[in-house]
Structure 1
Amino acid sequence: MSFGEQPAYLRVAGDLRQKIADGKLAPHTRLPSQARIREEYGVSDTVALEARKVLMAEGLVEGRSGSGTYVREQRLRRRVVRTGYRALGDASSFRQEQADERVKGTWESCSDQEPASAETAVRLRLEPGAKVMRTRYVYRWDGEPSMISTSWEPLSLTGRTPVMLPEEGPLAGQGVVERMAAIGLVVDNVVEEVGSRPGLAEETMVIGGVPGHAVLVVERTYFAGGQPVETADVVVAADRFRYAYHLPVR
Structure 2
Amino acid sequence: MTFGEQPAYLRVADDLRKKITAGELPPHTRLPSQARIREVYGVSDTVALEARKVLMAEGLVEGRSGSGTYVREQPEPGRLVRSGFRGPAGSTTPFRQEQADERMPGTWESNSGRDAADREIAERLAIAPGDEVMRTRYVFRSGGEATWLSTSWEPLAVTARTPVLLPEEGPLAGRGVVERMAAIGLVVDNVAEEVGARPGLAEETLALGGVPGHVVLVISRTFFAGGRPVETADVVTLADRYRASYRLPVR
Tell me the TM-score normalized by structure 1. Answer: 0.94
Aligned match of 2:238: 237
Question: C-alpha separation between the residues in 2 aligned to 1:89 and 1:220?
Answer: 18
- The change in CA–CA distance for 1:92 and 1:18 in structure 2 (over 3 A counts) is closer
- The change in CA–CA distance for 1:133 and 1:89 in structure 2 (over 3 A counts) is closer
State the Cα distance separating 1:121 from its structure 2 match: 0.8
Aligned match of 1:137: 138
Aligned match of 1:80: 80
Q: Deviations over 1:21-40 (max 9, x none)?
A: 12221211111111111111
Q: Is residue 166 from structure 1 mapped to residue 135 from structure 2 by the alignment?
A: no
Q: Is residue 55 from structure 1 mapped to residue 49 from structure 2 by the alignment?
A: no
Contact 2:124 2:232 in 1 (8 A): yes
Aligned match of 1:41: 41
Aligned match of 1:220: 221
Consecutive unaligned residues in structure 2, runs of 5 or more: none
Q: Deviations over 1:131-185 (max 9, x none)?
A: 1111111111222210011000011110110111111111111011111011011
* Count of residue pairs brought into register by the alignment: 250
Contact 1:92 1:174 in 2 (8 A): no
User: Is the partner of 1:128 in helix, strand or coil?
Assistant: coil
Q: Is residue 2 from structure 1 mapped to residue 2 from structure 2 by the alignment?
A: yes
Q: Residue type matched to 1:26 in 2?
A: P
Aligned match of 2:13: 13
State the Cα distance separating 1:209 from its structure 2 match: 0.4
User: Is the partner of 1:32 in helix, strand or coil?
Assistant: coil
State the Cα distance separating 1:92 from its structure 2 match: 6.0
User: Is the partner of 1:12 in helix, strand or coil?
Assistant: helix
Contact 1:81 1:99 in 2 (8 A): no
Q: Which moved more, 1:81-90 or 1:146-155?
A: 81-90
Question: C-alpha separation between the residues in 2 aligned to 1:32 and 1:23?
Answer: 15
Aligned match of 2:122: 121
State the Cα distance separating 1:231 from its structure 2 match: 0.3
Contact 2:89 2:175 in 1 (8 A): no
Aligned match of 2:200: 199
How do 1:18-33 and structure 2 match up within 5 A? 18-33=18-33
Question: C-alpha separation between the residues in 1 aligned to 2:61 and 2:125?
Answer: 41
Question: C-alpha separation between the residues in 1 aligned to 2:189 and 2:49?
Answer: 54
- The change in CA–CA distance for 1:107 and 1:48 in structure 2 (over 3 A counts) is same
Structure 1 residue ranges, 4+ long, deviating more than 6 angstroms after superposition: none
User: Is the partner of 1:63 in helix, strand or coil?
Assistant: strand
Question: C-alpha separation between the residues in 2 aligned to 1:110 and 1:194?
Answer: 25
Tell me the TM-score normalized by structure 2. Answer: 0.93
Contact 1:78 1:241 in 2 (8 A): yes
Q: Residue type matched to 2:42 in 1?
A: G
Q: Which moved more, 1:36-45 or 1:214-223?
A: 36-45
Question: C-alpha separation between the residues in 2 aligned to 1:154 and 1:36?
Answer: 58
Q: Residue type matched to 1:131 in 2?
A: E
Q: Which moved more, 1:206-215 or 1:89-98?
A: 89-98
State the Cα distance separating 1:3 from its structure 2 match: 3.3
Question: C-alpha separation between the residues in 2 aligned to 1:99 and 1:12?
Answer: 44
State the Cα distance separating 1:102 from its structure 2 match: 2.7
State the Cα distance separating 1:62 from its structure 2 match: 1.3
Contact 1:80 1:98 in 2 (8 A): no
State the Cα distance separating 1:74 from its structure 2 match: 0.9
State the Cα distance separating 1:89 from its structure 2 match: 4.5
Question: C-alpha separation between the residues in 2 aligned to 1:187 and 1:89?
Answer: 14
Question: C-alpha separation between the residues in 2 aligned to 1:95 and 1:112?
Answer: 22
Contact 2:91 2:100 in 1 (8 A): no
